[in-house]
Amino acid sequence: MTAPAYRTAERRARGARPPLPRLRSVLAEQVRATGHALRGPALIAAALLALVTLFAASQVLSRGVDLTLNAWPTQLPGLMGALLPIAVWARDERFGPAFLWTLPVDRRRHALTKALAGWVWLMAGVALFVLWLLAVTSASGGRALPPETLHVVTSQVAAAGPLDPAALRTVRWAPGPLIWAVPFTAATATYLLGSALVLGSRHPLRWVIGTVLSYVLSSIASEAASAQLRAGWLDDAPGRLLRLLVDSRYGLDALLTARIESLSNPAALTTGESTIVWWGVPDLADWRTATLLWTGAGLLALWAAASRHRERRRA
């Protein structure tokens, strides 16, 4: 008999029950196991980054431009966050008698622990991404997120057509230090929502396709309806709803890019040049609120999704 066997036998003889695992060791092991599961996607991401680096290097060397980071390409961390749950929960069965649920951990807590483990790796990935961006930027001689001069539109102008330079005013805008947090918060929020979807539904892909389809169908329907019923408000109602979700003050874009994306547009001036024109000054307060809202929604959704797997307690 091995020494642990002897100790176990002794303990059992005394009537002591086998102990539950400590949350610390469960979390640590989940982080390790999730890391193991993410090796594949990580390699792919690394390969892609290498390719992009080569491309950027060739551009810099051939054309001598320097790459300045004006704004985070945060759609990428956002996308990373949204897609990571698929890799985290990939082959793990969430529904039915899966190995995961036979372990001596409360099931809802276990689901959340696993999601948390994935988030740890997500933050590591985003950090590496940020570092890579900075490295590429500085290697090319550019600067990262420097203060900028923005051309802001002062008054209501027609959306189409070249703009009169006089209608623009210049604003000096320096993104505060909080801007460095944007990729992390964006990825976190999308990760929470993605995890909620993957954890909470048996066929998350069907939900995604279903949503896209229903958007398309409802757009067609609302257009037809508004034409038939001459109800102008119906026209493009789904589209407006979508824009509300994305472009509004606390919408998705606020979360992802502090509205830098939606507020800026390239436009042609009457003088013949074309420049980036801003419809408002991005305000990090908007981003803060948006982050709180979306992250809060994500946490709630994840909690609800995890609760779907909770231990059934009888009344």
Partner 1 sequence: MTHTDPRAGDYVVATHGLSKRYGRESALEHVDLRVPDGAVYVLVGVNGAGKSTLFKVLMNLERPDAGTAEVFGLDTGRAGPEVRAQVGYVPERQDAPYRSMTCARLLRHAAAFYPEWDHAYADHLTRALGVRPQRRVGGLSKGETRRLQLVLALAYRPPLLLLDEPTDGLDPVVRRRALALLAEHLADAPTTVLISTHHIHEMESLADHVGVLREGRLVAQMPRDELQRTVRSYRLEVPDAWAAPRELQPTGLRRSSAGRDVQCTLVGEEREVARRLAATGARVRQVSTLALEDAALAFLPEDPS
Judged by CB under 8 A, the residue of 23, 29, 61, 217 near partner 1 is 29
Q: Does 23 bind partner 1 (CB under 8 A)?
A: no
CB of 46 to partner 1, least distance (A): 17
Residue 53 CA to residue 125 CA, distance in Å, equals: 17
Site string for partner 1, 38-67 (x = CB under 8 A): -xx---------------------------
Instruction: Please report, for the chain, how many H helices and E strands are present, in that order.
Output: 12, 4
CB of 26 to partner 1, least distance (A): 6
Judged by CB under 8 A, the residue of 56, 69, 83, 101 near partner 1 is 101
Reference 94, options 310, 254, 303, 315; nearest CA is 310
8 A C-beta contact, residue 125 and residue 190: no
Q: Does 1 bind partner 1 (CB under 8 A)?
A: yes
Q: Does 33 bind partner 1 (CB under 8 A)?
A: yes
Q: Which long-range contacts (CB under 8 A, 24 or more apart) does 285-289 make?
A: 286/249, 286/250, 286/254, 286/258, 286/259, 287/178, 287/182, 287/254, 287/255, 287/258, 287/259, 288/178, 289/250, 289/254
> Hey, is 146 helix, strand or coil?
coil
Q: Does 20 bind partner 1 (CB under 8 A)?
A: yes
Judged by CB under 8 A, the residue of 42, 45, 68, 92 near partner 1 is 92
Here the tokens at position 207 are 């939900």
Q: Does 100 bind partner 1 (CB under 8 A)?
A: yes
Q: Does 230 bind partner 1 (CB under 8 A)?
A: no
CB of 148 to partner 1, least distance (A): 46
Per-position DSSP letters for 148-207, written without gaps between them = EEEEEE-S---SSS-B-GGGEEEEEE---GGGGGHHHHHHHHHHHHHHHHHHH-S-HHHH
CB of 109 to partner 1, least distance (A): 9
Q: Does 172 bind partner 1 (CB under 8 A)?
A: no
Judged by CB under 8 A, the residue of 14, 25, 156, 230 near partner 1 is 25
Q: Does 202 bind partner 1 (CB under 8 A)?
A: no
Residue 54 CA to residue 185 CA, distance in Å, equals: 29
Q: In what helix (H) or strand (E) does residue 277 lie, and over which residues does it extend?
A: strand 274-278
Q: Does 14 bind partner 1 (CB under 8 A)?
A: no
Here the tokens at position 110 are 């276990």
- Of the candidate spans 92-100, 153-161, 174-182, 281-289, the one that interacts with partner 1 by CB under 8 A turns out to be 92-100
CB of 120 to partner 1, least distance (A): 16
Q: In what helix (H) or strand (E) does residue 31 lie, and over which residues does it extend?
A: helix 23-37
Judged by CB under 8 A, the residue of 5, 158, 159, 166 near partner 1 is 5
**Positive or negative CA dihedral for 295, 301, 307, 309?**
negative
Q: Which residues in this chain contact partner 1 in the complex, by CB under 8 A?
A: 1-2, 4-5, 8-9, 11-13, 17-22, 25-26, 28-29, 32-33, 36-37, 39-40, 91-93, 96-107, 311-314
